[in-house]
Amino acid sequence: MRSEGCVERAVVLAGGKGTRLRPHTDQTPKPLLPVGGRPILDLMLQRLALSGVKHLTMAVCHLAMQVEERIGDGLRYGMRIDYFHEEKPLGTAGSLALIPDLSGPFLVLNGDVLTDLDFRELAAFHERSNSVLTIATQKRIQRIDFGTIELNGDHLVKSFREKPEVEYLASLGICMADPRVAERIPRGEPMDLPELVGVLIGQEERVSAFPFDGYWRDLGSPREYELANEDFESRRGILSWS
């Protein structure tokens, strides 16, 4: 019997071209870029292994052989790692329809995320929510640098707010999913997570949001990548898990 919060199966999406990080990603896949002297993916896999993951599939495309050569079969992480090769980019959800052995709840996450999120807590929340999909989220506040005007018909001004702050929930690129989620994805066709969520909601499936207020960075932009390296020394104990 599985215990609550058990995370044994995972999928890491590591096939993107990382166009915003060029020229760094012209010769190196984004998940292998170093943070604190170690590949982002290496830090993530160590964390997943400590969370109890036994079997992980890496969805790869851009410079896939580099990922395979660097990561290998997972023996040194204490887990089994295999690879799904995308013949064409399938987005942030499309590959899930083609990956075998997703027979129980599984974790799916982007390969360029640096976080101290406890994946077991996410799994336990997902199980309690009775949802088909649970998305890790974080509250963010965005300040708009201009005065904003709202109209009330016929070009009449309803309100004027000077440099307001907008609060929103950001998706962290980390989810827990049930196997039936993959059944909603057209086989071999690109699909991103927002589209998948729309399909699930349209079919009256439960989709939940897991609130997280710890450390998280999506290393998809030059500024975020720079900040992650700056953060690493002060947070080495929680980000390297060594």
Coil/strand/helix, residue 156: coil
Domain assignment of residue 153, yes or no: no
What is the pLDDT, as a whole number, of residue 15? 67
Q: Answer yes or no: are the C-beta atoms of 138 and 168 closer than 8 Å.
A: no
What range defines the domain where residue 65 resides? 9-136+171-239
Take residue 124 and report the two structure tokens written for it.
């336990």
Element counts in the chain: helices (H) and strands (E)? 6, 13
Could you tell me if residue 92 is inside a domain?
A: yes
Is 125 within a domain? yes
Q: What percent of the chain has pLDDT over 70?
A: 90
Q: Which of 79, 68, 56, 73 is nearest to 32 (CA)?
A: 68
Q: Is residue 191 part of a domain?
A: yes
**pLDDT value, residue 22:** 62
Instruction: Write down the pLDDT at residue 92.
Output: 87
Q: List residues with catalytic annotation.
A: 163
pLDDT, tens digit, 9 for 90 and up, residues 132-175: 999 999 998 888 888 888 888 778 898 998 888 888 999 999 99
Q: Quick one: pLDDT band at residue 242, thresholds 50, 70, 90?
A: very low
Residue at 147 is within a domain = no
CATH number of the CATH domain containing 54: 3.90.550.10
pLDDT band for position 209 (50/70/90)?
Answer: very high
pLDDT for residue 134: 97
Dihedral angle, C-alpha 178, 115, 197, 195, nearest 10 °:
-120
Residue 161 domain-assigned (yes or no):
no
Out of 99-108, 189-198, 226-235, least confident range? 226-235
In a domain, 2, yes or no: no
High-pLDDT (> 90) share of the chain, % = 45
Residue 204: band (very low, low, confident or very high) from pLDDT cuts 50, 70, 90:
very high
Q: Please indicate, yes or no, if residue 41 is contained in any of the structural domains.
A: yes
pLDDT tens-digit series, residues 22-42:
665 566 777 888 787 888 888
Q: Domain total for the chain?
A: 1
